[in-house]
A and B are shown apart, each in its own frame.
Chain A
């Protein structure tokens, strides 16, 4: 069964600090997708990144970077030089299993990490 674990429930940092959000996943599938979503206090879910299981290249987008390691089943997210606007709940998610009668869009979310960035 698909499972995502975000062990960090809450993280507080001061502005300009770097912060890494951890995500560990479990799946028996060889093909799968991993995601990060941001949920600000207003409540919407903002898509940040998708990574497929065959692409282990790290990705950088501005102050955001992601480290995908299949060997440890981890997909960690780092924010460099954090800002107050980064304060939100961040969810890591794993796609469903299309070959088990399910659909890829049946996402399995972790419990989320509440990030608070103080000025």
Chain B
């Protein structure tokens, strides 16, 4: 069965650079969620989209923005990167905001 695809798997950036993470949900899933998991931490909700509209917002820094496109894929844009942004970023998808969430394998971002 098709799963949630995240790219890239690994990303290394320097401080103050920008990064773009991509998420391709499971086919026919119209809801996308982004989570951030710092080292040794639990995943924290960042933001979600349903039918291309933002549906909920968590503790997402103002330096981050995200959107969902017409094909339902989503991108998380991070600017002015800080060392503290180093984390595993998960995307998850579901159909019609239902549960459970299906998580991708994550993108590991390292900021140096």
Which residues of B line the A interface, CB within 8 A? 31, 33, 35, 41-45, 48, 50, 55-56, 58, 88, 90, 92, 94, 97-106, 108
Contacts and interface: CB of A to CB of B under 8 A. Distances in A.
**Which one of A105, A109, A110 has the highest number of Cβ atoms from chain B below 10 Å of its Cβ?**
A105
Interface residues of A, number: 23
A104 interface: yes
Contacts of A102: 56
Contact of A50 (B31, B88, B90, B99): B99
A87 interface: no
Interface string A87-119: 000010001100000111111111110000000
A104 B42 CA distance: 18
Given A43-B88, A45-B43, 18 more contacts: A33-B99, A35-B99, A44-B103, A44-B104, A44-B106, A45-B90, A45-B106, A47-B101, A47-B102, A96-B45, A103-B56, A103-B97, A105-B94, A105-B99, A106-B45, A107-B35, A108-B45, A109-B44
A105 B103 contact: no
Nearest to A95: B99
A105 B98 CA distance: 7
A11 B55 CA distance: 37
